[in-house]
Amino acid sequence: MVKVEGTLEEMYELFGDAKQMVKSTKRAVRSGKKVASKIKRPLNAWQKYVKTNSAKYKYKTGSKKGQINLKAMSRDFKRSRRNKK
């Protein structure tokens, strides 16, 4: 750590106005988020399969009732991919 001594005006000359720096940083972050949100990558085959068939593979009884059975989904996905090749 470095100790800095002086009047308030001298500090502003050395380091600049802190509020101004915070505002400019916030503006830069906001503009960066807009650019990043435009790029959207396409879904892969598994993600498309889950999106379309998630209602078919739900537990009907037990403690997991209503949740998606990913084990059965994965098994059927692999079988369907094997038949296509």
Task: Please give the model's pTM, rounded to 2 decimal places.
Answer: 0.50
Q: What is the mean pLDDT of residues 11-20?
A: 72
DSSP sequence for 9-28: HHHHHHH--HHHHHHHHHHH
pLDDT at 16: 72
Q: How confident is the model at residue 19 (pLDDT cuts 50, 70, 90)?
A: low
pLDDT tens digits for range 27-85: 777 776 555 566 788 999 999 999 999 889 999 999 999 999 999 999 999 998 887 76
Counting Cβ atoms within 10 Å, is residue 69 exposed (0-12), middle (13-18) or buried (19+)?
middle
Asked if residues 31 and 23 have their Cβ atoms less than 8 Å apart, the reply is no
Mean pLDDT of the chain: 82
